[in-house]
Structure 1
């Protein structure tokens, strides 16, 4: 297993488990955490239209469009293991997220929109976008981009976008702050697990690398 995968799993897995078990146990620190960051996010008024636009671009159905677009381009470029990698990563993460939702069964914030139904932890929007962002940062960009400055800027921009998605879900009362944080931790863990397994089951040939 590569070092980046080990580090990512060692960061993502404990955070995800701590949040998941704390939410199930109704730990008081989670309530304090959520109240503090909800107040922080809602301290700037009149951002509803911007936040709706951001959350639309991170919708679970739109995530599938981004995934398919990337996968098709890679497939046409004869990078088929990479093409299959992003599809498997997102589909399996969504399935695992659905299972976790129905195990924990956390209610959404009272002010959530009617369109945001179902359970709250983890956030499907945030999880899907975290999978795409971390896949790009940890797998595609290191393989495709050779310029170090370009790598840094792309990573920063993708990280900012993911943070905006997290903020939008909290701002619109679709999720608690701990939901979106847990989703990002789960995404980091999951993309690294899938990548580690993928390294074992795919042959290391020029088809794997740009």
Structure 2
């Protein structure tokens, strides 16, 4: 329904623009650019490869493959969705941002990686780890809005898509 609304509903998009305007003031500082850089979708692939390398070093080859496949599958679905929806970025977005807006690639990657890390290490490292991941994820969300790179529905769409793709990947992994 969200994809349909973003693509076809003028009223929904007007509301999304209004909400974006209300949420984003003049918070587009350097710290948000650093957070955006560290969670760039291309760099997220590097983080996933590093995690997979650590898992291979621990002789957890199937889990390493699952990490790479999960992020790869999610990114592929996100790219296809971006190319099919063609949503333009918000007015006055950062010059560093290019491409389409829906869904947010940064939030998609950060959500997917947080879910992967939570699945792999959440029980061992406890609630402090979970809270830390949530804080980092929220910082990524705020950075995308503060840098005027995305509308709130782009964030919601990316989060939903990441959870959906992660769930599919998790089911396949459990079947193996």
What's the RMSD between the two structures over aligned residues?
A: 1.6
Q: Counterpart in 2 of 1:108?
A: 89
1:31 to 11, 14, 17: 14
Give CA-to-partner distance per residue, 1:92-129, whole Å, 9 cap, x none: 11111111011111111121123311111011111111
1:40 to 11, 14, 23: 23
Higher-Rg member (1/2): 1
Give CA-to-partner distance per residue, 1:134-179, whole Å, 9 cap, x none: 1112x2024x60xxxx422211111121111011111111111110
Instruction: Flag the structure with more relative contact order, 1 or 2, with Cα contacts below 8 A and sequence separation at least 6.
Output: 1
Q: Counterpart in 2 of 1:50?
A: 31
Q: When the two structures are superposed, what TM-score results if normalisation uses the length of structure 2?
A: 0.92
Q: Is the 8 A contact 2:27 2:146 kept in 1?
A: no
Which runs of 5 or more residues in structure 2 are unaligned? none
Q: How does 1:4-23 map to 2 (within 5 A)?
A: 18-23=1-6
SS in 2 for 1:140: helix
Aligned residue pairs: how many? 176
SS in 2 for 1:109: coil
Q: When the two structures are superposed, what TM-score results if normalisation uses the length of structure 1?
A: 0.78
> In the alignment, does 2:110 pair up with 1:129?
yes
